[in-house]
Structure 1
Amino acid sequence: MNPGVLVPLDFEWPEARAVHSFKTILIGIVLEALPFIVLGVLVSSFVQMFVPDSWIRRFAPKHPLLGIAFACLLGFLFPICECGMVPVIRRLIAKGMPLYVGVVFIVVGPIFNPVVYAATYMAFRNRPELVYSRTGLALFVGAAVGLFVYAFVKNNALKHSAASLYGSDGEGEGDQRGRSRGRGHGHGHGHGHSGGNRFFAMLDHAGAEFIDMGKYLIFGSCVAAAIQTFVPRGSLLEIGQHPYVSHFFMMGLAYVLSLCSTSDAFVASSFVGTFSIGSVLTFMVFGPMLDLKTTLMLSSVFRPRFVLLLSVLIAAFVLLGAHAADLLVLTY
């Protein structure tokens, strides 16, 4: 800059304005989502430490439609994080729970629970139809995927049999928990603690889960804020208003960000006005069901062909349902 040119004190370079906008959007998303992250990890940790797996296995119905309804009810009553669901379901399937029931729980559970519903409502107070559509689409996708798995998947989808997974019938839950701790995100999903230590184990689990989900929240919020700030609005509008490209773009974004379902609604709300409402719904439903970290965890539990089948089914039913909701419910 020419030293002889005086710059007004209130002048801001465009880059400074962009950085200020980025920080404002980022802080806003994180502060709105944090209370629901804390609530979610506390509820999840309580369920992990104080609700035995045997309770869930004992009441699992045999009829496929009742089994799907039971899996959805589990997700509502026991809001466990996506990271916690996969190890729990692995144990339950290995001990006799039908595969399709476990799949429905993995797919529907991250969305169909009171904590996520409250977070979505807070993020979209002015668009309540989007809140209802998220819950309804999650139930539709879960039921469709569950019925498909029930009808067509007859072989064992687990990588390990019950015998190889547990070693012997006498193996304790503490050993299972230790084995699980070596996989995934380091969560101790088990009930092998004594009554006096369970409360502290719950707090330890909640702290680890908060750190784990918090890093995904920060990463996702940074990406969302960067897109909103630095990508030209004209380019975003061109992508966001396309009837098909917008859905695929938001699915890819949800997959890469790997956000927790208690916080993704706040990230999604930052795209309202730029992207179509249907594609925002796609983001909020597809992400909790299938993202990068969930795919890695599923691959450690299920056979690769089954993980691929599950991924294709989820993507297809989410796209179909979101497009239908965009035409019938969300557009007015």
Structure 2
Amino acid sequence: MLLVLPILTESVTLNLSNSFKQFNTIFLSILIEAIPFVLIGVLIAGFIQIFITEDHIRAWIPKNKVMAVFMSCVVGALFPACECGIVPIVRRLIGKGVPLYAGIGFLLTGPLINPIVIISTYMAFGNDLEMALMRMGVGFVAAVLIALVVSIVYKSSQLKRKSKSGSSIAQPNKKQPLVTRVHDMMKHSIDEFFDMSKYLIIGALVAAILQTYVSAQSLFLFGDGLIQSTVIMMALAYFLSLCSEADAFIGASFRNLFPSTSILAFLIYGPMIDLKNTIMLLSVFKAKFVFMLFLLITSIVFACVYLTSFL
């Protein structure tokens, strides 16, 4: 008995050490992937705060809701941002007067179908244009539908509070020297970065814990039908919290296990909503709205992807 105890102790210590190394690797990889885009996002948010006025916003956004939603989704599709970096941009846009539904359209399409994501999808699937086009087309339709529902249900901005960073920075003033305005932009961006980064760290921490200590094989207990496999892939997309510029390579690795419809759900759902992004959204919007947005994205993405299986 005395001889067995040291062996068991050594085994447990080794397992804990290996699991902690895995957790540490995943946690750092999520942060390293996300932080550059968050930096870009807060710089753009600072630019919007200092150089863009409410009059500019009103001139750019069509008064027709459908046209506003469509335009926001098109602009988002052309904007290279990840699901983390786009959150501070959307918060600043909505705070400046962009309607909630237009902000949501931009929020959903930006990380999902921007040029970098489409190219990476094309390359990940062996230069297969079909999957890239399906991701772009089905994802765009789903984003438009989600934003339209938001435009019908919600009339207010649903922002939780005014950002602390926004309250301490001067409002746009064309009479100020350019150097002063750039200084204010950088000051705002720094405040915004520290405000958003703490939620990114919490989200990355939770995602890393789940990836390390929850076995992916447990998800396969639900079965292997089309509906079950689609739900599994959407769950994986949510909890893995991958950067949208790299998720296609992970999705492609499941081609021998899941049908293309389920993989398409993985590629569309993850960039729209994932674990770390949810925590960041909770820091910006009211919790009830984030919960309803989560249900809305889940149901509409599932329905759109499932319908493609009949085409």
TM-score (norm 2): 0.71
- Distance, in Å, in 1 between the alignment partners of 2:143 and 2:115 is 17
1:183 and 2:183 aligned: no
1:104 and 2:105 aligned: yes
2:167 corresponding residue in structure 1: 167
Letter in 2 for 1:276: P
- Distance, in Å, in 2 between the alignment partners of 1:49 and 1:103 is 17
Deviation by residue 1:168-207 (Cα, 9 ceiling, x = unmatched): 67254344323312223369xxxxxxxxxxxxxxxxxxxx
1:300 and 2:286 aligned: no
Query: Taking structure 1 as reference, are residues 48 and 120 closer, same or farther at Cα in structure 2, changes over 3 Å only?
Result: farther
Letter in 2 for 1:77: L
Deviation by residue 1:253-301 (Cα, 9 ceiling, x = unmatched): 1111000111111000010021121111111111110000100000000
CA contact (8 A) 2:43 2:189 kept: no
Deviation by residue 1:67-109 (Cα, 9 ceiling, x = unmatched): 1222123223321222111111111101111111110111111
| TM-aligned CA deviation for residue 49 of structure 1 | 5.6
For residue 315 of structure 1, the aligned residue among 275, 298, 304 is: 298
- Distance, in Å, in 2 between the alignment partners of 1:70 and 1:149 is 15
| TM-aligned CA deviation for residue 47 of structure 1 | 9.8
2:156 corresponding residue in structure 1: 155
- Distance, in Å, in 1 between the alignment partners of 2:304 and 2:108 is 15
Higher mean C-alpha deviation, range 300-309 or range 77-86: 77-86
- Distance, in Å, in 1 between the alignment partners of 2:310 and 2:104 is 28
- Distance, in Å, in 1 between the alignment partners of 2:296 and 2:134 is 19
1:267 and 2:279 aligned: no
Letter in 2 for 1:73: V
- Distance, in Å, in 2 between the alignment partners of 1:79 and 1:73 is 12
Letter in 2 for 1:280: I
- Distance, in Å, in 1 between the alignment partners of 2:198 and 2:288 is 25
Higher mean C-alpha deviation, range 300-309 or range 47-56: 47-56
Higher mean C-alpha deviation, range 149-158 or range 291-300: 149-158
Instruction: Give aligned-pair identity as a percent.
Output: 34
- Secondary structure, counterpart of 1:82 in structure 2: coil
TM-score (norm 1): 0.67
CA contact (8 A) 2:75 2:106 kept: yes
- Secondary structure, counterpart of 1:83 in structure 2: coil
1:71 and 2:72 aligned: yes
CA contact (8 A) 1:47 1:78 kept: no
- Distance, in Å, in 2 between the alignment partners of 1:46 and 1:83 is 8
1:83 and 2:81 aligned: no
- Distance, in Å, in 2 between the alignment partners of 1:70 and 1:47 is 22
- Distance, in Å, in 2 between the alignment partners of 1:89 and 1:65 is 19
- Secondary structure, counterpart of 2:310 in structure 1: helix
CA contact (8 A) 1:47 1:80 kept: no
- Distance, in Å, in 2 between the alignment partners of 1:161 and 1:99 is 15
- Secondary structure, counterpart of 2:85 in structure 1: helix
Cα RMSD, aligned residues only = 3.7
Q: How does 1:217-232 map to 2 (within 5 A)?
A: none
- Distance, in Å, in 2 between the alignment partners of 1:47 and 1:156 is 20
1:281 and 2:293 aligned: no
2:274 corresponding residue in structure 1: 291
- Distance, in Å, in 2 between the alignment partners of 1:43 and 1:297 is 11
- Distance, in Å, in 1 between the alignment partners of 2:222 and 2:128 is 22
- Distance, in Å, in 2 between the alignment partners of 1:282 and 1:179 is 36
Structure 2: segments with no counterpart, 5+ residues: 1-32, 172-183
| TM-aligned CA deviation for residue 130 of structure 1 | 1.9
- Distance, in Å, in 1 between the alignment partners of 2:227 and 2:276 is 25
